[in-house]
Structures are given as C-alpha cells and as structure tokens.
Amino acid sequence: MKQSTKFGLKLAGVVGAATYAGTLLGGLAAYQVAMHVSDAQKQRGRERSRAENTEIENFWYFKQPKQQWMIQSFDGLNLVATYIPNPKTIGRLAILAHGLGHSREQMIPYARIFMSLGYDVLMPDARSFGDSQGHTIGYGWLDRLDYERWITMALSQLGLDIDIVLMGISMGAATVMATSGEPLPENVKAIVEDSGYADLYDEAKFRLTHKFHLPAYPIMPVANRLAHVRAGYGFKDGRILQRVIDGGLPILMIHGSKDQTVPVRNAHTLYDQLPQQKGLYIDPDAGHVEAIRTHPDRYQEVLDEFLHEQAGLA
C-alpha cells in the first residue's frame, strides 16, 4: 500500500474519531443545557416570574387568601401549588401551568382573569421549578402525569361536581395539551394553550439551530438518546399534537405572530389537524406569551367566548 494511501486512511480515522467525539460532546452539552436545572436557576426563575408581572398584579396576588397544596409525583418528587378560592365561586376550577424557566407566579395575570370569571385557581410549580423538587425538566411530557395527580387532588378537596379547565403557556401549554391525552375524569371540560409547541423534538431542533446556531443533526439524535437514559424520556416522546387528538377535548389556541421562541406555525399545525371543537386567536403584534400584554381586553374576551360558546361552560 502506498504511503500516501496509508496516511489518508489514518487521517480519515482521526477525523472520524474526532467527529464522533464532537458529536457525543455536542449531544451531551445539548442534553445538559436543555434538561438540567440547578437550584440557582430555580431561584432566578422565581425572581423572573415576579419581575415580569406588574406591581398591581403582584399586589393582587399578595392580598389573596391562599392555600398551599402538595402532591408526590410518580417518581417520588414533592410538588407544590398555590390554591386560591374564589369568594364568588361558580363551581369551576382553572389549573394553570407556567412556562420554562419560571415558577407559578408567572401565572398571576392569568389567575386574575379566571378569578374575574368566577373560577377558583390552582397554580402548581412544575417539577424542577419554583418550590417543587427535582432538577430534570419534564417539558410537559413528564408533567402530564403530575397534572393528572393535581386533578385527582382537586376533586378530593373541592368535590366531584366541579368543572375543570386546564390552561398553560409555552412549556405549560405543552403540559396541559399532553395531559389532555390521558384518561381524565369528565370534570375536565376544556384546554387553553398559549404559545405551545405541537412537537417537542421539532421545538428542540428549532431552538438548537436558531438560538445556539448549531446543526440539529447529529446533535439532536445523540441528545435524544441521552435523555432516554438519564431523564427517563426522550425529546421524540413529546408528540403533543397526537395527545390532543387522543383526548378530544375542546381547545383554544392562542399565539403571537411575532413569536421567535415557539413559531406561530405550531398553532396553525394544531388548528389544522385537530378534529375536535377548537378556537384559534393569533395576535398580530405579540411575541412569545405576549398576547395577554399587547391586547389584554381582547385576550380576556377571546377566552371568555371560547369557554362559553365552544366549551359549553355558560
């Protein structure tokens, strides 16, 4: 064999090994960044959630009579929520779900809306956020099983005749949509999702390429395998659209057309492919989870109309 050929084969081997090592490191880094939350990050999430609210919203929350509820997850985590009883209750409960990198306080503006409509409100901290235990993010997929337990607890605490609406934003939107595909009691009447993704794997690829400017392949396949081993689920498990189809509950989709975190095409995909009763509101001026800020009056009108006219909660 010629010397140049031997050198070429050695070089190809080195390059191949380096490429393989780089792929593993890239996949490991992507998994670590995407899936792991430190205690410091949890604290920053709590601070961020309060800071993003107005002073009036935070003061309103401070003045509400509140109860702390707790459940244990299927994998042994203690999860915490705030329950706010409505003095003018109409026998309905909204269970809210916050977004990635935040805590239950992010949902204060949404709690105010539901309280004004006569609903009691339950605001959980997702696993690995706020005061809930854990350091591995569920991205709505693991959280769906937690929300099943919150529903069970709500029925045990508030009675078997209450009507329940699940509402979430961003990751929380994926949570309530994924939950809807579980065998839920008939008390759960509707889903409201704001800025949610239709597929977790597609959303992870989008963030990797647009936020970090890295190639989805081969990093994402490696990260997906690592997630299966370390987190107990993979990004490809999160087929949120299919879960909503399986559940068949009425659903309202809200999205900002200027969303650069979860592209608005997710809302259109959901709306176009879901066969059940559904509503769609696209705010032309809103970015990610901003529709409640850009046109707050219209936001509440859309929500109220959907609950009354399409979800049958007149």
pLDDT tens digit sequence for 227-267: 888 899 999 999 999 999 999 999 999 999 999 999 999 99
Give one DSSP letter per residue of the chain, joined into a string.
--HHHHHHHHHHHHHHHHHHHHHHHHHHHHHHHHHB--HHHHHHHHHHHHHTS-HHHHHHHHHS--EEEEEE-TTS-EEEEEEE--TT--SEEEEEE--TT--GGGGHHHHHHHHHTT-EEEEEPPTTSTTS--SB--TTTTHHHHHHHHHHHHHHHH-TT-EEEEEEETHHHHHHHHHTTS---TTEEEEEEES--S-HHHHHHHHHHHTS---HHHHHHHHHHHHHHHHSS-GGG--HHHHHHHH---EEEEEETT-SSS-THHHHHHHHH--SSEEEEEETT--TT-HHHHSHHHHHHHHHHIIIIIS---
Cα Rg of the chain, angstroms: 21
* Domain contains 258: yes
- Lowest mean pLDDT of 11-25, 34-48, 170-184, name the range: 11-25
In the chain, how many domains are there? 1
- Lowest mean pLDDT of 11-25, 245-259, 299-313, name the range: 11-25
Between the ranges 9-13, 35-39, 66-70, 307-311, where is the mean pLDDT highest?
A: 66-70
* Domain contains 51: yes
- pLDDT at 19 (0 to 100): 44
* Domain contains 220: no
User: Does position 182 have pLDDT exceeding 70, yes or no?
Assistant: yes
HSE-up (13 A, CA, CB side) for residue 47: 6
The band of 25, judged by pLDDT with boundaries at 50, 70 and 90, is low
* Domain contains 250: yes
Dihedral over alpha carbons 220, 223, 225, 230 (to 10 degrees): -160
Treating both helix axes as pointing N-terminal to C-terminal, what angle do 108-116 and 296-305 enclose, rounded to 10 degrees?
A: 50
Name the residue with higher pLDDT: 138 or 10.
Answer: 138
Q: Determine the Cα–Cα distance for residues 281 and 302; give it in Å rounded to an integer.
A: 7
Q: What is the CATH number of the domain that holds 134?
A: 3.40.50.1820
Cα-based distances in Å from 274 to 162, 200, 311 = 26, 17, 15
CA-based nearest residue to 93, from 69, 58, 73, 129? 69
* Domain contains 128: yes
- Which amino acid type is present at position 78? N
Residue entry with tokens 């399986």: 246
pLDDT, averaged across the chain: 91
* Domain contains 69: yes
Q: Left (φ > 0), alpha (ψ -120 to 50) or beta: where does 193 sit?
A: beta
* Domain contains 263: yes
Domain range for residue 54? 36-199+238-310
Partner residues linked to 67 by β-bridges: 83
* Domain contains 66: yes
2: tokens are: 């010629």
- pLDDT at 9 (0 to 100): 31
The band of 211, judged by pLDDT with boundaries at 50, 70 and 90, is confident
pLDDT tens digit sequence for 39-58: 999 999 999 999 999 999 99
Average pLDDT, integer, range 165-179:
98
- Which amino acid type is present at position 259? D
User: Does position 10 have pLDDT exceeding 60, yes or no?
Assistant: no
Q: Determine the Cα–Cα distance for residues 277 and 310; give it in Å rounded to an integer.
A: 7
71 close to 126: Cβ distance less than 8 angstroms: no
163: tokens are: 């009507």
